[in-house]
Amino acid sequence: MTLSVGDTAPDFTLNDSDRQPFTLSEHRGSPVLVVFYPFAFSGICTGELCQLRDELGTYTDAGVRVVAVSCDPAPALKAWKTEQGFDFPLLSDFWPHGEVAKAYGAFFETAGMANRGTFLVDAEGKVAFAEVNGPGDARAQSGWKDAVAALAS
C-alpha cells in the first residue's frame, strides 16, 4: 500500500553510491524529497533525474534535501552519478532487495524494481506529498515543486 499525505514516513538507512550510509531520521528538522526510480542508465530515469539535477536549486533553496533511490547496486549508481554529474545522493535499495521501496508502496514486485514514487517528507517526518507512477510513466515535477513551495511558505 502506498503512503499517503499525513502518514509517518518509514525510516530507513541505505548506502549511497560511495557506500556511505544515509539515514532518513538523521535529517529530521529539514524536509527530504525521496525520489524512487526503476533503473540507472535508463531513458526515462535519466531524463527525470537530469531535470532534477538541473533544477536542484528549486529544492535546496527551500531547504529541502533531495535523495534518489533505486534497487541498483552502489557501483552502478556511482558510475551513473559520475556520468551525469548528479549533485545529490543516489541510494541503493539493492539488499534486502527493494525493502525501502516496499515500505513506501513503490515497489513493482513482478519486475523486482522500484516504481516512480516521489515522497516529500516534512521536517517532522510526515509525508507532505506522495505520488507513485508506473515504471513507464514519466513524472511531471510540477507537483513536487508546488509541495515544496507550500512547505516553504
Domain segments of the chain as ranges: 13-152
Cell match 528538522: residue? 29
* CB-CB contact of 16 with 95 (8 Å): no
**Distances from the Cα of 37 to the Cαs of 29, 104, 117, 147, 151, in angstroms?**
25, 13, 7, 19, 23
Q: What pLDDT digit, counting tens, does each position of 8-35 carry? A: 999 999 999 999 999 999 999 999 999 9
Q: Extract the C-alpha cell encoding 77.
A: 549508481
Residue 45 appears among annotated catalytic residues: yes
Check if CATH label 3.40.30.10 holds for domain 13-152. Answer: yes
Percentages helix, strand, coil for the chain, rounded to the nearest 5?
35, 25, 40
Indicate the pLDDT class of residue 152, thresholds 50, 70 and 90.
confident
Q: What separation, in Å, do the N-terminal and C-terminal C-alpha atoms of the chain show?
A: 30
Give mean pLDDT, residues 94-99. Answer: 95
Annotated catalytic residue within 35, 45, 101, 147: 45
Give mean pLDDT, residues 136-148. Answer: 90
Per-residue pLDDT, 136? 87
Contacts of 89 (CB under 8 A, 6+ apart): 16, 17, 22, 67, 68
Q: Extract the C-alpha cell encoding 51.
A: 531535470
Q: What percent of the chain has pLDDT over 90?
A: 91
Q: What are φ and ψ of residue 4, in 5° steps?
A: -120, 165
